[in-house]
Structure 1
């Protein structure tokens, strides 16, 4: 009511002021009763209009909607004055132009009030230190949305002090009192001048090189870099109530720079309908469910309403984390969590016989290349032996589908890791050729954020103040997110044919040296160094997705190559596993590795496209 009274008095005053101006302040020419009647109309209109909507909480104070309501109320007041004026046409109350002039001035006054309030608020927040001065990078739609979110934040965590954009046409743009200060290249200068402590990147397609350049320009400055995600990235954002119980999404979308931002890959899309039909109402068994890929695979599978999802691993802490991520609690009492070692054939037989899965996703494996070069017998026992035992159990229990998680290191394999994975690709091809079952493998490369991944290592090294170790300045690798990898694994399970290896499209390979420099730049550490250690035994300078002779054919999905694989002699492969379990194998590691290589090196027979 008080705000309505104040605005009504202001409007009434403007009516009197514009009347006096109209007569050049010759008061003897003014029809005083008529002027006071029109002033009273101005006051009454706001006293009525305010409680009915303008100031009753229907509109946020200072918002465009409230301003439009004020303009409408002023227009109604001007209209009523005109009606009264025409009703008393025989005696001039006030000149017809006065209501228009007074209405226009009222709108100017309210605009000035909003501008002053916004700027005083910004200055007070900045001066008090209650809010963090923030520069928004990008003056497009994303940037405007970021400014709106900052302005509407009831917690006042950030206060915008400037915008940066390279578009010359936006050089003089102002939005909500915040103006474009200049190009992005001058970010360090504007951070120093404004005292900004936060930089929000609000450009949806910003390249990782540009992000790295921004971070490099801010070296030695205590500035936090945040990302404004696209609206599609926030669709699953969970709103949280504030202390008053009011739901507030505000700047929850401002997130830290992620590993995906450093790689800069565009997200891959899949055919959800195919996946849903393959998983829905099926009993699914996931091995290695406590690992990075296995746990994410469980989360993806659960989206498609399987009849049952059974998760097994020998890592009890990993299973605990997986259940916590799926259920929000981890009591470890569910019959669908199974603790056990796949290197125990009796455990595998009992597990598969009890669960009777329709689909097995086999993600359990040893994966650290350098370790497996030193301990090839461990790689063969786990990656080959456990996989063969699991395949035998799947056949004995009539499992419909089997998906083996392989690696790009299996293509043209030069390492123990790659050869063990490729040997199972070929073993699956042999079984599929004999049985016609939909048993297949899926190859992909480095998964962002997975345990022990190179980017995680870089982040840890920088945080610890250690040098960042890169094997070679020219080494490249393929990367994808865990979400993408697992979703495409499910897609492959829906479309793959018996014995095929499905190779997932991961875009262009990324230089590891570039990634290391981006991590360093974003850390703000000016003293961090890169140390080149040289390629280790079994490592390649660059990975391939296909072996020599394999054809990139994508008959069912534009992002999945379906490769027929040559079978292998399963008896010889099982003999190799038996040899790896010999207690004296530690003295014959080189011979064991040579036997594994010999099994795979002969030129495979052409299997045709029917596998």
Structure 2
């Protein structure tokens, strides 16, 4: 087609010069010279356009910059043709002006037929991909009148015109109301969302603001939840799949959007100083917390990263991910059980880790209530083994990942984690290794947590299940929790329990209700919430601090330190001996285990004592 454009360009210029529709010779050029010039031009244009990779572009995705480049390349090619005519063919009257005119005309022809072809392709795509009648179009409201909205609107208009009818845009900048973005008017601000949705029967809302603080985002989403529209959001800038086609980055609202937590600020240099060029071991590396720890640790370039887990599938997945993203780093995947001291001795002897992050644990509350011996063997004695190995093999720092369920525990899992805290605080007093713990609440998206459960229940049409209407939990995203863990250990001197600021506790029932509303459902009509009753070991309210613990602030506003408890390793050994005795007896009942736990962990209580039921 470009060859035709070149011939047509020369023909049109000839017509302009000779005022005749026949390519006649002139005082400037002969007919043979015109034909030779056309052949040379075809060759030169092909070479230039292929070198500039113009023929690798997809016409339907070309833009104004591409069209301008076609004209520039055409003019450049014409200048080269003029040079060849003068230097090599010794034409008598080569004219640079004439060749530039030819180049300009050819460029215009090329751009023109590409524009026509693009229009045909896009019209055909819209026709084939959107065979909906106007009555079936989804009525759409867009929040935010910036670049993202402009990008999304253009995508909708070019490829999915038959799917959506855009009723307007809302933007909190009142000065912009009345203006248009990509042909769509800004018709109000956040206070008008409910009214606009009702009067226009809006089916979907696209939240297109990327650069917004989480507090304002949460407030706007809460307003959207009061409409009957389904809401989709753009993720933050760092999470965007592509900035070229933002429509494909839109996703359903997640619980993380409803928490209103702003990103944490970190002292990355101190974290790097701690990790860089050190051998780091992460236990439970295949789990939700452990895997995120490994990802963030790799940013700081450890000398060697050891991934330890007893579940081979998840360990394989994280090893593959890390080696793909960091092909030049030394990453070792180790299948091992932390209950086996001899196996741990061999690992510590071989690799000599300098920093240990201990994230391996049995954490499912109801399961551990029914299998208390496994919780004690894995959580308590597994931690005990790692703590002793760290001391024996001169580990510099040991970090225990703890939980708010260790505070005044009402379940076996929480009580075992409290025992782990006791172990590391006692061991710190007699070891050169610095032992610390970091305590935080629920993380979003972890295995077995409420978030994936709600998503699965929504996908299957409900109901969403909540154990109690008043139950509350602290929530934090996994990346935020891990980032604060890394920051906390830069303040460690040994023996501390760091407590992360989890914000305000959130009612699980309210989260479920908001997710239903923002998914376009009406509670009680399209989707139900079922109250299933409290599970074994569950309490209504989690706590981050025990009564006898005092908090001290750190340099970071979201990290605090509890006052160390007065406990020796002899005290801990006495407690562990009690458990060794009952674990050796296969006839030990759950009640006996609980009674022993109450002796060893004085703050451990039955759920009924705490929940008031």
Q: 1:166 Cα shift?
A: 6.5
Contact 2:281 2:306 in 1 (8 A): yes
Task: Provide closer, same or farther for how the CA distance between residues 532 and 157 of structure 1 changes in structure 2, counting only shifts above 3 A.
Answer: same
Q: 2:505 aligns with which of 486, 509, 512?
A: 509
Q: 1:189 Cα shift?
A: 4.4
Q: 1:128 Cα shift?
A: 6.5
Which stretch has the larger CA shift, 457-466 or 397-406?
457-466
Contact 1:284 1:309 in 2 (8 A): yes
Q: Residues of 2 paired with 1:275 and 1:330: CA distance?
A: 19
Q: 1:529 Cα shift?
A: 1.2
Q: Which residue of 2 aligns with 1:109?
A: none
Q: Residues of 1 paired with 2:381 and 2:309: CA distance?
A: 16
Tell me the secondary structure at the aligned position of residue 281 of structure 1. coil
Which stretch has the larger CA shift, 500-509 or 547-556?
547-556
Q: 1:484 Cα shift?
A: 0.8
Q: 1:309 Cα shift?
A: 0.3
Tell me the secondary structure at the aligned position of residue 339 of structure 2. coil
Task: Provide closer, same or farther for how the CA distance between residues 230 and 343 of structure 1 changes in structure 2, counting only shifts above 3 A.
Answer: closer
Q: Which residue of 2 aligns with 1:375?
A: 371
Tell me the secondary structure at the aligned position of residue 553 of structure 1. strand
Q: Residues of 2 paired with 1:134 and 1:358: CA distance?
A: 58
Q: Tell me whether 1:530 sits opposite 2:537 in the alignment.
A: no
Q: Which residue of 2 aligns with 1:351?
A: 347
Aligned residues: 484
Q: 2:431 aligns with which of 428, 435, 457?
A: 435
Q: Tell me whether 1:387 sits opposite 2:393 in the alignment.
A: no
Alignment of 1:233-312 (within 5 A): 233-234=239-240, 248=244, 250-312=246-308
Q: 1:212 Cα shift?
A: 5.0
Q: Tell me whether 1:199 sits opposite 2:199 in the alignment.
A: no
Tell me the secondary structure at the aligned position of residue 360 of structure 1. strand
> 1:265-323: CA deviations, max 9, x gaps?
22222211111111100100000011111111111111110000000111111112212
Q: 1:410 Cα shift?
A: 1.1
Q: Which residue of 2 aligns with 1:138?
A: 143
Contact 2:283 2:290 in 1 (8 A): yes
Q: Which residue of 2 aligns with 1:245?
A: none
Q: 2:169 aligns with which of 158, 164, 168?
A: 164
Q: 1:391 Cα shift?
A: 0.7
Q: Which residue of 2 aligns with 1:601?
A: 602
CA RMSD of aligned residues (A): 3.9
Q: Which residue of 2 aligns with 1:547?
A: 546
Alignment of 1:87-106 (within 5 A): none
Q: Residues of 1 paired with 2:326 and 2:171: CA distance?
A: 49
Q: Residues of 1 paired with 2:224 and 2:526: CA distance?
A: 18
> 1:107-127: CA deviations, max 9, x gaps?
xxxxxxxxxxx9999999877
The TM-score, its normalising length taken from structure 2, stands at 0.70
Task: Provide closer, same or farther for how the CA distance between residues 292 and 232 of structure 1 changes in structure 2, counting only shifts above 3 A.
Answer: closer
Q: Residues of 2 paired with 1:410 and 1:591: CA distance?
A: 20
The TM-score, its normalising length taken from structure 1, stands at 0.70
Which stretch has the larger CA shift, 566-575 or 268-277?
566-575
Q: Residues of 2 paired with 1:153 and 1:171: CA distance?
A: 22
Task: Provide closer, same or farther for how the CA distance between residues 598 and 343 of structure 1 changes in structure 2, counting only shifts above 3 A.
Answer: same
Structure 1 portions without partners, runs of 5+: 6-55, 70-117, 240-247, 604-611
Contact 1:166 1:184 in 2 (8 A): no
> 1:415-459: CA deviations, max 9, x gaps?
212211111111111111122531111101111111011111111
Task: Provide closer, same or farther for how the CA distance between residues 199 and 154 of structure 1 changes in structure 2, counting only shifts above 3 A.
Answer: closer
> 1:527-586: CA deviations, max 9, x gaps?
32112223334322211111112222113322111113322512123214423532515x
Q: Tell me whether 1:412 sits opposite 2:408 in the alignment.
A: yes
> 1:458-506: CA deviations, max 9, x gaps?
1112222342221221211111111111111111222122111001112
Structure 2 portions without partners, runs of 5+: 9-53, 72-117, 132-136, 605-613
Q: 1:458 aligns with which of 438, 445, 454?
A: 454
Q: Tell me whether 1:591 sits opposite 2:592 in the alignment.
A: yes
Contact 1:320 1:330 in 2 (8 A): no
Q: Residues of 2 paired with 1:139 and 1:121: CA distance?
A: 30
Task: Provide closer, same or farther for how the CA distance between residues 269 and 350 of structure 1 changes in structure 2, counting only shifts above 3 A.
Answer: same
Q: Which residue of 1 aligns with 2:37?
A: none
Q: 2:183 aligns with which of 177, 180, 197?
A: 177
Tell me the secondary structure at the aligned position of residue 589 of structure 2. helix
Task: Provide closer, same or farther for how the CA distance between residues 230 and 374 of structure 1 changes in structure 2, counting only shifts above 3 A.
Answer: closer
Contact 1:496 1:562 in 2 (8 A): no
Q: Tell me whether 1:214 sits opposite 2:242 in the alignment.
A: no
Contact 1:425 1:565 in 2 (8 A): no
Contact 1:133 1:198 in 2 (8 A): no
Q: Residues of 2 paired with 1:581 and 1:446: CA distance?
A: 30
Q: Residues of 1 paired with 2:265 and 2:582: CA distance?
A: 41
Task: Provide closer, same or farther for how the CA distance between residues 581 and 269 of structure 1 changes in structure 2, counting only shifts above 3 A.
Answer: same
Q: Which residue of 1 aligns with 2:396?
A: 400
Q: Which residue of 1 aligns with 2:556?
A: 557
Q: 1:253 Cα shift?
A: 4.2
Contact 1:505 1:560 in 2 (8 A): yes
Task: Provide closer, same or farther for how the CA distance between residues 423 and 164 of structure 1 changes in structure 2, counting only shifts above 3 A.
Answer: same
Q: Residues of 2 paired with 1:463 and 1:231: CA distance?
A: 27
Which stretch has the larger CA shift, 399-408 or 510-519?
510-519
Task: Provide closer, same or farther for how the CA distance between residues 577 and 313 of structure 1 changes in structure 2, counting only shifts above 3 A.
Answer: farther
Task: Provide closer, same or farther for how the CA distance between residues 600 and 338 of structure 1 changes in structure 2, counting only shifts above 3 A.
Answer: same
Q: Residues of 1 paired with 2:242 and 2:352: CA distance?
A: 36
Q: Residues of 2 paired with 1:501 and 1:528: CA distance?
A: 42
Which stretch has the larger CA shift, 157-166 or 465-474?
157-166
Contact 1:467 1:528 in 2 (8 A): yes
